[in-house]
Amino acid sequence: MIARAGAGPLRHLVVLRHAKSAWPDGVVDHERPLAPRGRRDAPVAGRILAESDLLPDLALCSTAVRARQTWDLASAQWGTPPPVRFDAHLYAADVPDLLDVVHDVPTEVDTLLLIGHNPGLEDLVLDLAGDGLDDALDQVRVKFPTSAIAVLAWRGTSWEALTPGTALLTNVIVARGGKKR
């Protein structure tokens, strides 16, 4: 059950898995760039966030090249992008590492965008969601592909209050080359 009686403003954690990456020979994982499909999908993710009124107050992004490129292309779709913090702890992070980073977010941030990698992001969404609208939880359980966006809503006085099972998974969207899927 979701803790709905919690005090504080309605907050949103928007989780975006980086767009499709390339696998060039001789390039270490951290340095892999986006593939052509990823370069098409990342701007679509940015437009989806703008159209859904989910522009973040702050973005936290993995330092991996593909995540940074996803941020650059998505945020270019907005008039004025919010501050972004590139955090090495988000690369290959598991749920405890991701929660540590999220728990350090300033209280004045109501909508946070987290850009990173699987399986950590998928596990985080499933861990935090006490419930989901429609079939959102089932969608994430089946697959959280590249360019997937998960939106978690919850009430809390600080980001430290976001704990397993306390959020509602309100939407899951996969951005693909000019269309929502």
Tell me if 4 is assigned to some domain.
Answer: no
Tell me if 101 is assigned to some domain.
Answer: yes
- Full domain range(s) for residue 24: 10-180
For 125-170, write each residue's pLDDT tens digit.
Answer: 999 999 999 999 999 999 999 999 999 999 999 999 999 999 999 9
| DSSP designation for 89 | G
Contact status, residue 130 vs residue 122, Cβ threshold 8 Å? no
Report the share of the chain in percent with pLDDT over 70.
Answer: 94
Mean model confidence pLDDT for the chain: 93
Q: What tokens does 148 get?
A: 């997937």
Query: How many domains, in total, are found in the chain?
Result: 1
| The pLDDT value given to residue 3 | 40
- CA angle (164 as vertex; 62, 142 as ends), nearest 5: 70
Tell me if 131 is assigned to some domain.
Answer: yes
Tell me if 2 is assigned to some domain.
Answer: no
Could you give the CA distance from residue 58 to residue 60 in angstroms, rounded to a whole number? 7
Tell me if 106 is assigned to some domain.
Answer: yes
Q: Find out whether the peptide bond into 36 is cis, omega within 30 degrees of 0.
A: no
Residue 172 has pLDDT above 80, yes or no: yes
Tell me if 1 is assigned to some domain.
Answer: no
Q: What is the CATH number of the domain that holds 174?
A: 3.40.50.1240
Could you give the CA distance from residue 53 to residue 41 in angstroms, rounded to a whole number? 19
For 88-137, write each residue's pLDDT tens digit.
Answer: 999 999 999 999 999 999 999 999 999 999 999 999 999 999 999 999 99
| The pLDDT value given to residue 2 | 40
Q: Is the dihedral of CA 164, 170, 176, 178 positive or negative?
A: negative
| Mean pLDDT (whole number) for 8-27 | 96
Tell me if 76 is assigned to some domain.
Answer: yes
Contact status, residue 139 vs residue 115, Cβ threshold 8 Å? no
Tell me if 3 is assigned to some domain.
Answer: no
Task: Tell me how far apart the terminal alpha carbons of the chain are, to the nearest angstrom.
Answer: 28
